[in-house]
Structure 1
Amino acid sequence: MIVQRISRRPGMETLRREVRMRRYRQFLLLNTELQDPGDPLSKYDSHEFEKIYRFSKESFCELLAMIQNDIERTDNRGRPLPAVYQLLIALHFYCSGSYQKVVGDQHGLQVSQPTVCRTIHRVSEALAKRYSQFITFPSIAEAADIHAKFYEVAQFPNVIGAIDCIHMRISNPGGAMAEQCKNSKSWYSVNCQVVAGPDLKIQTAIVRWGGSVPDWQIYDNSRLKQVLEQGEYGHLVGDSAYQCQRYLLTPVINPTTQAEKCYNRAHSSTRRKVKRVFGMVKRRFPCTNQELRSNPKTSCAIILSCFALHNFALERQGLPDDSEAIYAPDDSPQDKYTGDYDPEGESYRQHIIYEWFSNDTPNVNFQQEDELCDSQQSWQ
């Protein structure tokens, strides 16, 4: 019997067909006419542009100048997107939270979903790399002014910032990282620690811990704790998820005296600054209020970019009109610190209660603060 050997190599005609198709695709790519990169700036008026991208045209151009060298390709291989379009696509994703394919279809280029994904990653990395240009912790010389501004809120003394954590939803990363990112409510998240100032600007942010890590552990492993323990800044105010320490005061769990109740109310009113920051970030950048479907590294860069852009927007455009009534939805895990207590922290908290809250209730409208907290706005 003669067995005929069948060749699995493609024939010459098939190879010629593939070469012709490849050349045809290259021809279409190289002869595609891109729109004028400046067109989006002239297509919309100032009000429409700011409504879509949440930044004025002047702020957008300034932001583009800061990161243009990082996101613009030096070669022309594959007809890369101009830097202005890359930033527009990333901002559109941040400000809408839409599917990446939908975002790619909005700018007249019919950008594919993989290209949008790479663009968001590239822009987010560029913004996150410039984190220190947007978010800076106050200097020692600025501490006294910050103490005075926080004191005006609810007469709580020596406060340098309000600290809290918020869980940002991400998709299941899989593998060993899945358990690290699963929080106590059994959904996947990045636990982000933020310190807010009296002007609702972010003083510092840590975006690298999975949802399974408790709030107090993030603070204990941060450089912020080491800076505060030098004793030159004052103290933070945080919720009961943290250990009460000399430089981080938490509320009294079961207040019994009038002074402790006054302390808790002043503490709560002061700490709501960071809640408003979370609300403003989620209102301005709805992608942080939805599940981020990128890999964990890119998701962290997106979140940190939104925090940085929050500060940039405040500096260039000021507070929104409804900033006083914006709070973040309370859907994050509400952990309680259950470890050992710090004698020095407990002693200092009692000292604050005795020195500042043992007399009459501080002259602050707590009722108005409570009403604002209860009337949370719609997030759509």
Structure 2
Amino acid sequence: MEIEDRNIDVREIEEIDDSTDDEHDMRAPKRYIRDWIDPFEVYYNREFKRRFRFNKNTILHGILPLIEEGLARNNNRGLPIPPKFQLLICLRFYATGSFQQVIGDTIIVSQPTVSRIVFRVSVLLARIFNQFIKMPCTPDAVRENQRLFRDIGRHDRGIGLPGIDGAIDCTHVRLVGTRFQNIEEIYRNRKGYLSLNVQAVVGPRTEFLDIVPEWPGSQHDSRIFQNSRIYMRYVQRQLSGILVGDAGYPCLPFLLTPIQNPQTDEEITYNILHRRTRQIVERTFGIWKRRFPCLSRGLTNKLICSTTIVVACAVLHNLSLIYNDILPEEEDVLPEQYNEMEVLVEEPHWQPGEGFAVRAALIERLFR
């Protein structure tokens, strides 16, 4: 009986092992896109916008036509995902900042598929940034831009800063789980976490006019500006207006900064005008990160993909303004809530002298 029992046990073990091998050899069933639930049909527009941060019409008639050709397949090989669903997958990632595995489980695709789609869609959006992120180029557009900036910073006495093209500042986009090759500490900013230090020039309607996404978080704002294309365009007089920036930037003939220790009433009033004019860039960063929480919660992608996502989100932000697709919570965003206040503002590494003379002449012209 012991031998029979032992034989039975052996046969049972063999059967278990065989079944285990069969389970390992089983292939996952193919997932057909036609079995998906179409969010455009299931959700009302309000619920759809909460999940994807845009209205249905904006996605179908505004964003999708710009990148649909790059996402489409000529055949059905490999059960390709239709372009509109690829765009929704990417927007869902931007809107949540969640793990790609969680997004994949929610919409029934694998994590590698989500990763490839996010990168593919982000690249296509980033390629068209020259169409939607650019400085005003026509005389009428420049004058209108400068008029709006003067109205934004207008003082009780009816005075505003003249000739302002844009407000410039930097914001940190957190990097979480990004793999570096012995250069990790370069991306650690003064607050102690890894990030990209993203420079942006913003217009009076909270639109992006220029963006530089690739610098490590440890780099100073003034150094990023000095090595940027927008700086060279002003130096070479391709642009004739003026930017406004905080005390971390040098005072230049084309860049106005606040006076550190104002002594006269005119200097105090100038600082008030400057602060009111520059607050638009802080408000824009708040709106931008509120619409795309992946920028504030942290990007877990590869470094090249993270910089691409930053540009793609800036393009989508400008498209939301073009199509007047505003989130309800964006209307109440205040600069003070999202301003990355510094206990001690770091002075710029370089400070030419001619900028102070231009600023002094401007103050004298405003209040004489």
For normalisation by structure 2, the TM-score amounts to 0.84
The 1:338/1:311 distance shift into structure 2, 3 A limit, reads closer
Counterpart position of 1:133 = 131
Letter paired with 2:88: L
Aligned residue among 234, 257, 263 for 1:228: 234
Aligned position for 1:345: 355
Alpha-carbon shift at residue 140 of structure 1 (Å)? 4.2
Kindly provide the amino acid, as one letter, of the partner of residue 218 in structure 1: I
Instruction: Note the alpha carbon deviations across 1:146-199, whole angstroms, 9 max, x for none.
Output: 111111112111100000000100025332331221112221110111111111
1:264 aligns with 2:265: no
Matches of 2:266 and 2:43, distance apart in 1: 56
2:194 equivalent in structure 1: 188
Provide, for residues 347-374 of structure 1, a one-character-per-residue CA deviation record: whole Å limited to 9, x for no partner.
Answer: 0011111111x36xxxxxxxxxxxxxxx
The answer (yes or no) to whether the contact 1:276–1:324 under 8 Å persists in 2 is no
Checking the alignment, whether the CA contact within 8 Å between 1:167 and 1:332 is kept in structure 2 is no
State how far apart, in whole Å, the 1-side matches of 2:32 and 2:213 are: 40
Q: Using the alignment, how far apart are the partners of 1:231 and 1:268 within structure 2?
A: 26
> Could you tell me which residue of structure 2 aligns to residue 167 of structure 1?
172
Matched, 1:78 2:62: no
Shift of 1:99: 1.8
- Retained in 2: the 8 A contact 1:37–1:85? no
1:271-308 Cα offsets, whole Å, 9 max, x none, are 01111110101111111111111111111111111111
AA aligned to 1:217 is R
Contact 1:140/1:232 (CA < 8 Å) preserved in 2? no
Partner amino acid, structure 1, of 2:130: S
Distance across 1 between alignment mates of 2:57 and 2:224: 37
Letter in structure 2 aligned against 1:329: Y
TM superposition shift of 1:338: 4.0
2:215 match: secondary structure: strand
Offset from partner CA, 1:15-73 (integer Å, 9 cap, x none)? xx999986x637x32xx443367822111122221222111111111311211222234
Q: Please state if 1:98 is matched with 2:98.
A: yes
Secondary structure (helix, strand or coil) at the match of 1:203 reads strand
Q: CA deviation at 1:250?
A: 0.5
Residues 274-353 of structure 1 correspond to what in structure 2 (within 5 A)? 274-320=281-327, 322-323=330-331, 325-327=333-335, 329-331=338-340, 335-353=345-363
Work out the CA distance in 1 between the residues paired with 2:238 and 2:69.
Answer: 40
User: Which letter does structure 2 place at the counterpart of 1:127?
Assistant: L
- Tell me how far 1:270 sits from its aligned partner: 0.3
Could you tell me which residue of structure 2 aligns to residue 248 of structure 1? 255
Please say which of residues 64-73 and 345-354 is displaced more in the overlay: 64-73
Aligned residue for 2:9?
none
Indicate the SS of the match to 1:176: coil
Q: What's the % identity of the aligned pairs?
A: 34
1:147 paired residue number: 146
1:25 aligns to what SS in structure 2? coil
SS at match of 2:161: coil
Whole-angstrom distance in 1 between the partners of 2:136 and 2:310: 22
Aligned to 2:364: 354
Between stretches 299-308 and 329-338, larger displacement belongs to: 329-338
- Residue 112 of structure 1 corresponds to 110
2:68 is matched with 68
**Which has the larger displacement, 56-65 or 338-347?**
338-347
Mapped partners of 1:47, 1:152: distance in 2: 34
Which deviates the most, 165-174 or 316-325?
Answer: 316-325
Deviation of 1:228 after TM superposition, in Å, equals: 2.0
CA separation in 1, counterparts of 2:89 and 2:136? 33
> Equivalent of 2:163, from 158, 165, 169?
158
Q: Report if the CA contact (8 A) 1:164-1:274 is conserved.
A: yes
In the alignment, the residues of structure 1 paired with residue 93 and residue 350 of structure 2 have an alpha-carbon distance, to the nearest angstrom, of 43
Cα gap change, 1:19/1:94 in structure 2, threshold over 3 Å: closer, same or farther?
same
Q: What SS does the aligned partner of 2:338 have? A: coil
Q: Which runs of 5+ in 2 are unaligned?
A: 1-19, 154-159
Residues 114-153 of structure 1, C-alpha deviations (whole Å, 9 max, x = no match): 2211211111111111111221211041211111111111
CA shift, 1:97, in A, is 1.5
Cα distance in structure 2, aligned partners of 1:241 and 1:355: 25
SS of corresponding position for 1:192: strand
Q: For 1:339 and 1:75, how far apart are their aligned partners in 2?
A: 56
